[in-house]
């Protein structure tokens, strides 16, 4: 079958299988633009509506169950109803109360755990990774007295800090003119040269140690060290965005790579399943936020220290995602990705990523994962039709992944379930051998 006929047939089956989701989508459009309040979750012809989650599984409105491989874009590490999170949630509600409008012991306790775990001198909490990056950048600007920020094409640092490949810059990027976007992710020499050309003008270089939303493209050690060094030499702060990657190694991916960022931003799973973000780093840099100092920067946020997230995030990081669990979990995921890479060898499907975060790419020439060093390596090669076909058919097989091809594993996922996905991928590749094989 040719790709467009296969895709059309899959889309028709999707519509027939999901009448309630369709109906719910239409109802939602009456109060939400496009029936949506998170752009990423929109899919055509309509998005599925999820009714409930249990462990690493989801059930939709038409009663299909899925293995959840989306893992709430990495925030859902602990699954949908972990017993410790349940217990902490209830005991916090019963014994502490929701938001207290004052400082609490718990916020200092969680701050101390975050500092110890991610090697920070000081940290501040926010309600999202986007906010964490916005405040880190404001801090860097204050500390250096400069305003420009270097970022890399393919980088995603939040809803209003998105730097995909399309030019011009995203319409909703804040302070658009202050960002200098380099298209040389993973090109150590070029990145260094270009950063140094901006010596004395930049407040920060903001980078992910693996571009997550950009397609799970890991940075090399050489590149990250070159960027760190060049940022310092240029008089700028080196800010590592670990909103996604802090779960990839016990003390974060940057620490694993031997980096010493001036500032680090975090979020996602560190809220224990609730909205969260944090930014921290060097004591002298973070001192720009010390309210005892006249003229310091304000960083207020009604929910920054709300009881539930302070208790849940703390309990989950301390007692569930221990350094040992982080190592074992990511090693298990690495083996799984290798199995998938093996199954997909010689086809148009490629798996990139590191540990428990993975990107799926459908390209005309079936590029090797090792050759995907930046988003520009994927440009002009991508096969959106094959990606969509895969997505529709994986739903039928019972797997919930993002349409763009992002996977974030949940801790409770079993080896048998992971193997089941490998088999489903193999079936897909066999079924569509004529389209998928190189």
Binding residues vs ligand PLP (CB under 6 A): 73, 128-130, 133, 156-159, 208, 212-213, 241, 243-244, 267, 277
Supply the minimum distance, in Å, between the C-beta of residue 405 and ligand PLP: 15
Quote the CA–CA distance of 87 and 388 in Å, as a whole number.
Answer: 40
Q: Are strands 202-208 and 237-241 parallel, antiparallel or unpaired?
A: parallel
Nearer to ligand PLP, 53 or 212 (CB): 212
Nearer to ligand PLP, 133 or 347 (CB): 133
Half-sphere exposure of 135 (CA within 13 A, CB side): 29
Q: What is the DSSP string of 125-184?
A: EESSHHHHHHHHHHHHHHHHS--EEEEETTEE-STT-EE-SSSS--TT-TTGGGEEEES-
Nearer to ligand PLP, 129 or 252 (CB): 129
Nearer to ligand PLP, 72 or 385 (CB): 72
Half-sphere exposure of 296 (CA within 13 A, CB side): 14
Supply the minimum distance, in Å, between the C-beta of residue 214 and ligand PLP: 9
Nearest to 423 by CA among 353, 333, 364, 336: 336
Supply the minimum distance, in Å, between the C-beta of residue 258 and ligand PLP: 20
In the chain the first and final C-alpha atoms are separated, in Å, by: 16
Supply the minimum distance, in Å, between the C-beta of residue 165 and ligand PLP: 16
Nearest to 371 by CA among 215, 233, 149: 215
Placement of tokens 């755990």 in the chain: 113
Supply the minimum distance, in Å, between the C-beta of residue 330 and ligand PLP: 17
Nearer to ligand PLP, 153 or 208 (CB): 208
Nearer to ligand PLP, 70 or 187 (CB): 70
Supply the minimum distance, in Å, between the C-beta of residue 6 and ligand PLP: 31
Nearer to ligand PLP, 244 or 315 (CB): 244
Supply the minimum distance, in Å, between the C-beta of residue 397 and ligand PLP: 26
Q: Cβ–Cβ contacts within 10 Å for residue 435, how many?
A: 19
Burial class (CB in 10 A: 0-12, 13-18, 19+), 420: middle
Q: Which residue is nearest to ligand PLP (CB)?
A: 129
């Amino acid at each position: 079958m040719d790709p467009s006929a296969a895709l059309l047939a899959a889309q028709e089956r999707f519509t027939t299988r999901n009448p309630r989701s369709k109906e719910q989508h239409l109802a939602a459009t009456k109060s939400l633009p496009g029936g949506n309040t998170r752009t990423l979750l929109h899919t055509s012809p309509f998005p599925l509506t999820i009714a409930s989650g249990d462990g690493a599984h989801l059930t939709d409105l038409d009663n299909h169950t899925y293995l959840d491989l989306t893992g709430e874009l990495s925030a859902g590490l602990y699954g949908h109803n972990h017993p410790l999170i349940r217990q902490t949630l209830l005991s916090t509600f019963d014994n502490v109360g929701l938001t207290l409008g004052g400082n609490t012991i718990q916020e200092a306790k969680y701050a101390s755990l975050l500092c110890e775990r991610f090697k920070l001198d000081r940290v501040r909490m926010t309600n999202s990774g986007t906010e964490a990056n916005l405040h880190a950048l404001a801090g860097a600007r204050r500390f250096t007295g400069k305003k420009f920020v270097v970022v890399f094409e393919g980088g995603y640092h939040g809803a209003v800090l998105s730097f995909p490949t399309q030019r011009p810059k995203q319409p909703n990027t804040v302070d658009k003119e202050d960002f200098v976007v380099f298209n040389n992710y993973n090109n150590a020499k070029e990145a260094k040269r270009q950063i140094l050309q901006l010596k004395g003008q930049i407040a920060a270089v903001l980078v992910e140690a693996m571009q997550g939303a950009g397609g799970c493209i890991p940075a090399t050690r050489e590149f990250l060290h070159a960027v760190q060094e060049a940022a310092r030499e240029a008089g700028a702060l080196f800010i590592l965005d670990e909103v996604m990657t802090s779960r990839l190694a016990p003390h974060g991916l940057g620490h694993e790579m031997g980096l010493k960022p001036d500032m680090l931003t975090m979020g996602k799973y560190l809220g224990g399943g609730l909205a969260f973000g944090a930014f921290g780093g060097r004591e002298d840099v973070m001192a720009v936020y010390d309210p005892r100092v006249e003229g310091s920067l304000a960083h207020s946020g009604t929910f920054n220290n709300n009881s539930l997230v302070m208790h849940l995030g703390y309990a989950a990081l301390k007692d569930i995602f221990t350094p040992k669990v982080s190592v074992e979990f990511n090693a298990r995921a690495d083996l799984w990705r290798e199995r998938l890479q093996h199954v997909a060898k010689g086809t148009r499907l490629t798996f990139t990523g590191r540990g428990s975060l993975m990107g799926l790419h459908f390209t005309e020439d079936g590029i090797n994962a090792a050759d995907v060093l930046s988003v520009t390596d994927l440009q002009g090669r991508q096969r959106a039709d094959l990606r969509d076909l895969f997505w529709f058919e994986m739903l039928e097989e019972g797997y919930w992944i993002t349409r763009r091809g992002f996977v974030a594993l949940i801790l409770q996922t079993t080896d048998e379930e992971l193997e089941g996905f490998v088999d489903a991928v193999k079936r897909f590749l066999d079924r569509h051998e004529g389209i998928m094989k190189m």
